[in-house]
Amino acid sequence: MLPAPVLEKAQKEMLDWQGLGTSVMEVSHRGKEFIALADKAERDLRSLLNISDSYKVLFMHGGGRGQFAAVPQNLTTQGDRAAFVDTGVWSKKAVEEANRFIGADVVASSYQDQSGLWHVPQDKVVEVASSARYLHYCPNETIEGLEFNFVPKASNNAPVIADMSSTILSRPIQVDDFGIIYAGAQKNIGPSGLAVAIVREDLLGQARKDTPAILNYSLTDEFDSMYNTPPTYSWYLAGLVFEWLLEQGGLSAVEKINQHKAECLYQCIDNSDFFNSQVAQDSRSWMNVPFQLGDSSLDALFLSEAEKQGLRALKGHRIVGGMRASIYNAMPLSGVKTLIEFMNEFERTRG
Ligand SMILES: *Cc1c(COP(=O)(O)O)cnc(C)c1O
């Protein structure tokens, strides 16, 4: 979901961007107008996340999964190993991709407690081999709806690498806690086709010789994220989303709204005898809220009735089943309220 004011601005500017008589898609990415757009997008992102000068902000191709390969390629040599926390589907995919290049060791995993509720691993310091080159984790598992409310450290002080695809910009973070933060754009930043990587300066310049140029952090930095033609329209829309977030009051304001949205929805689930959540309180995502119906034979009916109310995309991932409400930044509180009213009514009449 993208914020409506962003889409409206894009619509208004579609045929005539900045009085140039063309769309932003049609101008050269090396022209001064686009470069100004690119610079402003970076400045706004830096301001939103309070990113210091010791980090590079890179706009790259290949989405989140491109970064699954970019990280090992940029930080390791053949024969190296790195440590991974496994909290679900996206963690596992990152491990699978890293294993093409290095030895990826899973050193901590999500777990179910005695009542069957899921938790992220609770260790603030994750025990890793002394040779581990980095510690990779996924702060918010999009499919399982498991989110960390702290940043783990590696016992050997190796850099922490975070796949923030589904949680970036949902609340303030301390960028200094991380070696690299990356995110595919399409959950909380803008349209697909773009990935943002925030890379600590001292981690540049170590890429393997055979790293594809478009995944090489140093080259990307050297060419101001324009080694080849960047995904210009995605970049433009991302810039509009950053402006919109700043207009909302920045991430501390956005955090309050997101927390409230999530609390309302979890409260509806917890207060119900019909819906339930399999995620423990300490690990609940603010962005992705999976829930189950007491009677899964009503799943199809729930989805079709929801659709009639304009409530779409509620089907859970096939791996976990049930339902999942993704309530990213662009989802207004009113959308969550509509879902809650629908759920209450469904429980009353069908539950
Ligand atoms: C969606 C997602 C990805 C994959 O992003 P692509 O851009 O499709 O490669 C990776 N990690 C997480 C946490 C995601 O939610």
- Distances from the Cα of 124 to the Cα of 42, 200, 269, angstroms: 31, 21, 29
Q: Does 228 show up as a binding residue in the annotation?
A: yes
Mean pLDDT of the chain: 97
Residue 267 and residue 255: Cα distance in Å, rounded?
18
Residue 320's pLDDT band, with cuts at 50, 70 and 90, is confident
Q: Is the Cα torsion angle 294, 296, 301, 302 positive or negative in sign? A: positive
Q: What is the pLDDT of residues 197-234, one digit of tens each?
A: 999 999 999 999 999 999 999 999 999 999 999 999 99
Annotated catalytic residue within 56, 187, 244, 261: 187
Question: Which one is the CATH code of 13-247: 3.40.640.10, 3.30.1240.10, 3.40.50.970, 3.40.50.2000?
Answer: 3.40.640.10
Pocket perturbation via mutation, ligand 1, pick of 166, 170, 189 by most ligand atoms within 8 A of CB: 166
Question: Which pLDDT score, from 0 to 100, does residue 127 have?
Answer: 98
Sorted by sequence, the CB contacts under 8 Å of residue 36 that are 6+ apart come out as none
Q: 160, 152 in Cβ contact below 8 A? A: yes
Taking residue 83's Cβ as centre, other Cβ atoms within 10 Å add up to 27
Phi, psi torsion values for 275, nearest 5 degrees: -95, 150
Sorted by sequence, the CB contacts under 8 Å of residue 238 that are 6+ apart come out as 41, 59, 185, 189, 190, 191, 194, 196
Annotated catalytic residue within 163, 221, 261, 286: 163
Q: Is the Cα torsion angle 38, 161, 257, 185 positive or negative in sign? A: positive
Per-residue tokens: 262: 């999530």
Task: Indicate the DSSP class of residue 209.
Answer: T
Question: Which pLDDT score, from 0 to 100, does residue 102 have?
Answer: 97
Residue 220 and residue 233: Cα distance in Å, rounded?
18
- Distances from the Cα of 32 to the Cα of 38, 221, 248, 349, angstroms: 10, 19, 28, 60
Cα 322 to its chain centre, rounded Å, is 22
Q: Are strands 160-163 and 180-184 parallel, antiparallel or unpaired?
A: parallel
For ligand 1, say whether the CB of 324 is within 6 Å of any of its atoms: no
Ligand 1 center from residue 79 Cα (angstroms): 27
Residue spans of the domains in the chain: they are 13-247, 251-350
Question: Which one is the CATH code of 251-350: 2.40.110.10, 3.90.1150.10, 1.10.510.10, 3.40.50.150?
Answer: 3.90.1150.10
For ligand 1, say whether the CB of 187 is within 6 Å of any of its atoms: yes
Q: What is the pLDDT of residues 158-194, one digit of tens each?
A: 999 999 999 999 999 999 999 999 999 999 999 999 9
Q: Is the Cα torsion angle 122, 124, 127, 132 positive or negative in sign? A: positive
Question: Which pLDDT score, from 0 to 100, does residue 351 have?
Answer: 77
Ligand 1 atom closest to the CA of 185, numbered from 1: 7
For ligand 1, say whether the CB of 261 is within 6 Å of any of its atoms: no
Q: Where are the alpha helices (DSSP H) in 145-250?
A: 217-222, 232-247
Q: What is the pLDDT of residues 237-272, one digit of tens each?
A: 999 999 999 999 999 999 999 999 999 999 999 999
For ligand 1, say whether the CB of 166 is within 6 Å of any of its atoms: yes
Q: What is the pLDDT of residues 263-312, one digit of tens each?
A: 999 999 999 999 999 999 999 999 999 999 999 999 999 999 999 999 99
Strand segments, DSSP code E, in the chain are: 55-60, 81-86, 103-109, 111-112, 118-119, 125-126, 135-137, 140-141, 146-147, 153-154, 160-163, 180-184, 195-200, 275-276, 288-293, 323-326
Phi, psi torsion values for 137, nearest 5 degrees: -150, 170
- Residue 53 bears catalytic tag: no
Predicted confidence (pLDDT) at residue 10 exceeds the cutoff of 90: yes
